[in-house]
Structure 1
Amino acid sequence: MARSRKSNLSSTKLRIVYIQRHALSTEEDKCRYMGLYMVDGSPVEWFANIKRNTPTLLQDFTLFVADFRTKFSDPNIESTAM
């Protein structure tokens, strides 16, 4: 999957979590809900690794998203957008 597509998926997932913000009452709820949208390839492997090796990351949605962006965002978004 191209990096720009991953970035778009990331943005979509964050909007979905925002819309569900009242139903998702804990940081872990938000992280696990976002994880539901990771169904193939590197994102699902990344999420499985988080659950297995660093589950404390699921307790802080801001750090979870930052880690996700570090792994999957486009490092050269300005060039990609052109």
Structure 2
Amino acid sequence: MKHIVLTALLAVSACATPPNRIKPIANAAPCTSQDRTRLAEISKVQAATATNDAVGVFLVGLPVGSMVGGADHKQEIALLKGRCG
């Protein structure tokens, strides 16, 4: 039983964070139109990966979205959110 709980906790902790739950990292760089475009693009990818992870964990106990090539853009999203607020 202990192994099942540990495995479940590890699977959930490996899931991608939805973009709306990523906190901005303050930085002084100016926000460009390319930054806004990039933020929108990677937020879509991050949201899809997080959804696929949640479904995968629910159905098979594994973060499928992250395992099949869904990139985790958490750091870049945080930086761009801080820049473009």
Using the size of structure 1 for normalisation, the TM-score is 0.38
Higher helix share: 1
Q: Specify the structure having the higher radius of gyration (Cα).
A: 2
